[in-house]
Structure 1
């Protein structure tokens, strides 16, 4: 659980766009692992987004017969309001485990890429336009039209599930990476992302279908 130290920010991004899975991995030593009481952790200064994410994921777990609790109802306010030492984090994890939690699910932003898309006419492949003049005429708007190219962001997200009963390097049960393209609205993004997490966990047979 010391890996929690490296989690600086969590997905509480916004999107009306797409969430797609990039990669997934399941620990072969935990193939039969079934979480019974899951702590859902969100690390963000945006309290509203944190609550939305954790509550949505809690509802999905509850619908599948799994006891899940939002971290804002478990962590002490001082734990999230100030930077913690490694020893303080270990003590909080121990307290959580002693309260019956056997799992924790954390989601973190791993990086953001800025992409550019061409907003003009469709890409042309009819190469019979071989004259320079004709070619230049067709593409010269790039110099004058500020909307010729449009920028958007792709957020690279990672979700991880840990076994709290094994506080060692083998405690990671499952991890998956996702890309969220061009986020815009908070509710849509959180819903799409949580649904993607749930589908991944169902596919790996870590949780059951509804």
Structure 2
């Protein structure tokens, strides 16, 4: 094989997160050896800062494992990610990448976003502590008027897939993993946590080697 391309699609790259959880993964058992010789890391997002941080973080992780990696700016016209592309245009890109020595594509996409709300369990009491309506209402009305009582956050459901672009259709999908990015906070932390989770799972599934 000649290389890999990593594409991250979605707004989760705008932020950072406090937790990244691997939900599930699948490996193509027909692929006995996967060792790209040249890897391009590409983050598709209008947030230039997030894209650069992500690409550099992931590039460095692959380089540590002797995988020749490049960021997108070294191989693609920056205008490519400025607008939505047709399937034909993407196929043309794949052909150009193959001609440049790339042989694999890793695609990450946000499959959905859940908005969650939790509340402070400190208000909860067992039994019938308050026998008078007035006292009960006075005590628990803070639940409705205190914004700190509720904690709202988002969970980003992300799917990452690795494709071999130089093999037949039956062997094109090499690996796919589903992740949850929980409660994003800062770009740097989220990208680092996301990259670390992906790398750890790829090692566990014997797609890449451990240091």
User: Normalising to structure 2: TM-score of the pair?
Assistant: 0.85
* 1: CA distance, partners of 2:199 / 2:101: 22
* 1: CA distance, partners of 2:177 / 2:123: 34
8 Å CA contact retained: 1:10, 1:42: no
| Aligned counterparts, 1:56-135, within 5 A | 56-119=57-120, 121=122, 123-124=124-125, 126-127=126-127, 129=129, 131=131, 133=133
Residue 177 of structure 1, CA deviation:
1.1
The secondary structure found in structure 1 opposite 2:155 is strand
Alignment partner, residue 33 of structure 2: 32
Point out the structure with the larger strand share: 2
8 Å CA contact retained: 1:42, 1:50: yes
8 Å CA contact retained: 2:20, 2:197: yes
8 Å CA contact retained: 1:10, 1:107: no
* 2: CA distance, partners of 1:22 / 1:123: 31
Unaligned runs of 5+ in 1: none
Alignment partner, residue 183 of structure 2: 182
Aligned residues: 204
Residue 123 of structure 1, CA deviation:
4.3
Alignment partner, residue 205 of structure 1: 206
Alignment partner, residue 143 of structure 1: 144
Residue 132 of structure 1, CA deviation:
7.0
Greater than 6 Å deviation, 4+ residue runs:
none
* 1: CA distance, partners of 2:12 / 2:32: 26
8 Å CA contact retained: 1:8, 1:43: yes
C-alpha distance 36-148 of structure 1, shift in aligned 2 (>3 A): same
C-alpha distance 171-79 of structure 1, shift in aligned 2 (>3 A): same
Residue 56 of structure 1, CA deviation:
0.5
* 1: CA distance, partners of 2:144 / 2:34: 58
* 2: CA distance, partners of 1:27 / 1:164: 14
8 Å CA contact retained: 2:161, 2:173: yes
**1:71-113 alpha-carbon deviations (Å, 9 max, x no partner):** 2321223322233232221111111011111212222211111
**1:150-190 alpha-carbon deviations (Å, 9 max, x no partner):** 21111111111111212635411111111111111111111
The secondary structure found in structure 1 opposite 2:76 is coil
Unaligned runs of 5+ in 2: none
Residue 209 of structure 1, CA deviation:
0.7
More divergent stretch after superposition (166-175 vs 37-46): 166-175
